[in-house]
Chain A
Amino acid sequence: MKVIIDNKEIIANEGETVLEAAKRAGLKIPTLCHHPRLSNYGGCRVCVVEVGGMNRLITSCTTPVSDGMVVTTDSPKIRETRKTLLELILSDHPNDCMTCDKTGECALQDLAYEYGANVKENPYDGAMRQYPTEDKNQFIIRDFSKCILCAKCTRVCDEVRAVGAIDIMKRGFYAKVATSFDGVLDCEFCGNCVDVCPVGSLTEKLAKGKGRTWETGKVDTICGYCGVGCGITLHIKDNTVIKVTPTEKESVNNGALCVKGKFAYDFINNKDRLTRPLIKKDDKFVEASWDEAIDYTVKRLKEIKEKYGSNSIGGLSSARCTNEENYIFQKFIRAGIGTNNVDHCARY
C-alpha cells in the first residue's frame, strides 16, 4: 500500500506502523518508550504525528499504516506538543546530568536538547516523586526519581526474558516500577532492563563513576563464557573494561545477555588471572612460551601413549568452548590419541 509521509510517497507493508514505515524511508521520529524488540506501548507520546483528516495527534509507534494515509512528522504543533511533553517529564526529573552515568547516551537529554526544552525555568515545576534509590542488590542501581515510566524494563523482563521480576505499581503520578511487594531486586540479573532503559534510572553498579560515556572506547566482540557466542560490546577506558552491553549489531543473542556475559567481566584485569602457560619444574610452576608449552605437551603425550597405551589417556573438554572447538577436540582424542576416553561437562 502507498502512504505519504512528509510529502514522500512510500510503499508500506500491511500491518506495519507509521513509525516503522517512516524509519524505512529514512525519516527520524523521536521516541522514548518504543523498542523494536518489544510490544508497542504508546506511553511517552513523543512520537506523535499528524494524520490528514484527524483532529487529534496520533502516536506513530502504535498506529498501523492504511492505504492513502497522509502523515506529517514535523510541524509547529507537533514540535510544541513534543516540547511540552519533554518539559512535563523534566519537571519531575532530578536533572542532575552533570553527575549522571547516563549522560551522553541518554535519550531524554538528547531530545531535551533537540527540542529546546526549558529546564531552568520549567513552566510546569511542581511536586516530584520522592522514592529512595535501591542499590542493595548486587548489580543494578535503581534510581526511581529518574524513571520516565517508559516500561521498557518491565516489557523486556516479561516479553523477552519471560521472568516478570518487575512491573508497574501504584497509579498516576506516583506510579513506580517495582518488584513484588516493592522489595530489593532479586532476579536472574541478566541486566537487560539496564540495557533498554533510555535514561539513568537503571545503571550498572560496577560501572558507576568509572568513566563518562564519551571517554570510553567501544569494542565489539563475542562473549567467551559459552558456546552460544553472544555479541557483546566492551566499553573500555584506560585499557580496562568498565562495562559490557549487548552489541547493537546483528548477533545471535539479538540484544539479550545473561548475568555472566553482562556482569562477570572483572576477571579480565584480575591479577590472579593466568595470561601465559606455566610448566612445573622442580615442583614449581614456571612461566613458559606457548611454543615451549605445546612442544612439552606433545612430547609428554607421546611418551605416555608409547609406554602405557592409548587408553591410559583421556580428554575432558568444556561447554564454554564452541561446537567447532569441541568437535576438533574429540577428533584429536579419538583419531590422534586413539582412545574413546573423551567427554565434556555437557556430554558429547
Chain B
Amino acid sequence: MTTKPKIIIGMGTCGLAAGARAVFEEAEKYIHEKKIGAQVIGVGCIGMCHEEPLLDIVMPKRTRVIYSRVTADMISKIIHSHIQKDKPEKGHVLSQMLPDDGANPYPSIPYYEEMPFNKKQHRIVLKNCGFINPLSINEYIARDGYEAAKNVLFSMKPEEIIDTVKRSGLRGRGGGGFPTGMKWEFCRKAEGSPKYLICNADEGDPGAFMDRSVLEGDPHSVIEGMIIAAYAIGANQGYIYVRAEYPLAVKHLKVAIAQAREKDFLGKNILGSGFDFDIDLKQGAGAFVCGEETALIASIEGERGMPRSKPPFPANKGLWGKPTNINNVETFANVPQIILKGADWYAGFGTEKSKGTKVFALTGKIKRPGLIEVPMGIPLKEIIFDIGGGVADGSRFKAVQTGGPSGGCIPAELIDTHVEYESLIAAGTMMGSGGMVVMDDSNCMVEMARFFLNFSTDESCGKCVPCRIGTKRLLEILERIVAGKAKENDLELLASLGGTVKTASLCGLGQTAPNPVLSMIRYFRDEYVEHIKDKSCRTGTCQALSRYIVNLDTCKMCGICVKGCPVDAIADGTKKTKKPALIDDEKCIRCGICFEKCPFGVIYTKGAKKAGHVKEGLSEVKV
C-alpha cells in the first residue's frame, strides 16, 4: 500500500514517441519546486497506445487514477488539484482502476477495467506491464515474481515441469504455434552437451511490438520463464537475441539481468539449489530473417544470418551443433504463471487446441490502436469492434491482416472467425506473432499486397532460388499492376509462381511470403481484375491509375492549380480565361499537386474507368 503519493508515467517506446519524456521531466521539476513528497516512476506500456502519454496518480489509500494525452503544460494543474487537494483533475481524467486493498474510489470516474478497450481483455503476459517499474526487481518480486522459479528449483523435477507445460496447452507465440512442452521434451531427451536455451526477441514484422512491450515493461518475467525452461531441458547457458533497434528493451534487459544476478536468480548455484544458469544478450542487426531460428543461431555463431535446412532441428543440433531450445519472448513470459497457477488454470482459457491468451498489436485504420491481450478463441469481431472501437467514422471495415508479411487477410464477411491457430490457417492466414493491421475501404488490396511483398523481398536472405528470385518477380508483377502496366495473365502468374515459392523455399520467410497476395486475391479478386483489365483503382490509392478531374461547376478559376502543376498540364482555370480548369490527361504525371493545392476541393481523383469521362485526353465534369 502506498504511503507517499505516486506519479506513474508510461515510458515505453510508444509513450516516449508521444512525448512522455517531457511530461516526466515536468512532473519531477514541479514536485521538486513545490516540495511535494511524491514519487515519480516510469513504467512500460499499459497497452493504450492511442491515449499516450498516460500519467497515473495513486494517493495513499485511494484508487489509481489515469490521465490520458497528458502534456507538460497540464502537469501543474493535475498535480495541484489531485495531490495537493486530493481532487482528480476531471478535465483530463480517463478512468480509475478497481480498488484493491480497501482503497477508496473516487465518485463518478469510470473504472479502467470496465472501459470497452479493456473489458474483453485478459492479462497474463501483460499483467505487470504498466503496473511495475521495470527497472526494479523488487516491484517484480512483490507481484509474485521469481516464486515460480523457486518452486521449480526446489520442488519440481524437470519432467514434471515439462508435463505441466504440456498439459497447459501452451504453444509457441513466435508464429509457428508448436507445442512448447513437446519442444522442451525433445531438447531434454536429445543427446549431447552442453545444451543451450535461446529467447527469440528479434521481432521484425512491420507493425508488431508485442515482444518489445514485454521486454520494456516486464523484463523479469522473460528471465524467469527462461530459468524455468533451462532447468527443464538441462541448459546452463542462455541467450536473448534482441534487435539492436530496441534500445530501451536492451537497456531494461541489461539492468534486469544484472539485478537477477545480484539476487542470485542467475549465475552459479542459483539460490543454493545446485543449478547453474546465466544469460547473455546478443544484439541483432535488424534483419527480419534473423528471427528465423536457424538463421538466428547462425547469427549468434558469428556467421551470416542465413537459415539452415531442417532437419536437423535445433533441439538436436542447434547452437554450435549442440541441442538447443528456442522460444519466443511471449512464450517464456507465460511460463511463470503456468507454474504458479497450474496447467488446468491456463488451459481454462481458450479453445480445444489453442489455449491461454495471445497478445496482439492492433494497428492500422482502427479507432483505438494499442497492445491488447485476449483469450484465445475470441471472435475477431470483438477485437476489432469492441476493443478497438472499429474503424474511423464514415469508413467501412474492409479486412484485417494477421501474421504480418507472412500472413493473410481476413475480409469483413469472415469477421466472426475465432482467433485460434487452426481456424486462422483455414481462412488462409495465420496467427503469426501478433501483428493485426486493420484496413478500411480506403485501403487498396493490390497496394497492401505490394507493401507486404516489398518487405519480404527486401528481407529475403538470398540463399534459395524461389525466394530470392521468386519474391522479386512476384513483386514486379504487383508493381506493374499498380502502375497500370499489367499483362493479361498476371493473375494466373501470381497464383502459379506464388505456389512454387511457397512449396519450394527453404525457410518460413519464403514459404509464407506469397501469403498476403494469395489471400488478397482469394478474397478481393474483383479489385485485382479491375486493376488489370480496367486499369482502375477503386480506392484511388494507385496513383498511376488515378485521374485528376476538375468539377467544372464548382471551379472558382483561382488559377492555383495551374501555377502548381509542374508539367503545365492544366489549361484555363484562371479569371483571365474565364473557363474552369481542364487537366490534360496525357501530360499529367499524377503527382497530385493540384489535388492538394486546390483551396476549394473541386479536384477529384477517380479510377479512370469508374469516372468514365476521359475524352481525348482531357478531363470533364460529372464524377
A contacts, CB < 8 Å to B: 40-46, 48, 55-57, 59, 62-64, 81, 84-85, 88-89, 91-92, 123-124, 126-127, 148-149, 151, 167-168, 170-175
Contact = CB atoms under 8 A, between A and B. Distances in A.
Given A81-B504, A124-B497, A43 B463 contact: yes
A57 B503 contact: yes
Interface string B458-470: 1111111111111
B469 A91 contact: yes
Contacts of B460: 171-173
Interface string B461-496: 111111111111100100000000000000001001
A151 to B, nearest CB: 8
A85 B311 contact: no
B457 interface: yes
Nearest to A176: B462
A88 B465 contact: yes
A151 B461 CA distance: 13
Given A126-B473, A172-B458, A64 B311 contact: yes
Interface residues of B, number: 35
A1 to B, nearest CB: 15
A88 B466 contact: yes
B304 interface: yes
B470 A88 contact: yes
Contact of A91 (B464, B467, B473, B503): B473
Which 8 residue pairs spanning A and B have beta carbons closest together?
A: A175-B462, A62-B309, A172-B460, A42-B309, A88-B469, A173-B472, A126-B476, A124-B473
Contacts of B289: 171
A302 B405 CA distance: 88
A82 to B, nearest CB: 9
Interface of B: 287, 289, 304, 306, 308-309, 311-312, 457-473, 476, 493, 496-497, 500, 503-506, 511
A84 B457 contact: no
Contacts of A57: 503-504
Most buried by B among A41, A45, A55, A91: A45
Nearest to B477: A126
Contact of B304 (A41, A149, A168): A168
B309 A59 contact: yes
Contacts, number: 104
The B interface is mostly helix, strand or loop, or mixed, namely helix
A93 B493 CA distance: 20
A160 to B, nearest CB: 17
A56 B503 contact: yes
B317 to A, nearest CB: 11
B468 A173 contact: yes
A48 B505 CA distance: 10
Contact of A171 (B462, B464, B465, B505): B462
A63 B313 CA distance: 11
Contact of B459 (A45, A62, A81, A171): A171
B465 A172 contact: no
Nearest to A58: B309
Nearest to B480: A126
16 contacts: A41-B463, A42-B308, A56-B503, A57-B503, A62-B309, A88-B469, A88-B473, A91-B473, A92-B469, A124-B473, A148-B465, A149-B462, A168-B304, A171-B289, A171-B460, A173-B469
B88 to A, nearest CB: 53
Given A42-B308, A42-B309, 15 more contacts: A40-B309, A42-B463, A45-B464, A45-B465, A84-B497, A85-B500, A89-B465, A123-B493, A124-B497, A127-B472, A149-B468, A171-B461, A173-B469, A175-B461, A175-B463
B466 to A, nearest CB: 6
A46 B465 CA distance: 9
A63 B311 contact: yes
B356 to A, nearest CB: 28
A107 B472 CA distance: 24
B518 to A, nearest CB: 15
A173 B309 contact: no
A278 to B, nearest CB: 57
A45 B466 contact: yes
A172 B461 contact: yes
A97 to B, nearest CB: 19
Contacts of A45: 464-466, 504-506
B472 A126 contact: yes
Contacts of B506: 42-43, 45, 59
Nearest to B469: A88
A84 B460 CA distance: 19
A272 to B, nearest CB: 47
Nearest to A90: B469
Contacts of B464: 42-45
A21 to B, nearest CB: 15
A173 B501 CA distance: 14
Contacts of B496: 84
A81 B287 contact: no
Contact of B504 (A40, A55, A85, A171): A85
Contacts of A126: 472-473, 476
Contacts of B465: 43-46, 85, 88-89, 148
A66 to B, nearest CB: 9
A87 B496 CA distance: 13
Nearest to A175: B462
Contacts of A55: 503
A213 to B, nearest CB: 25
Contacts of B497: 84, 124
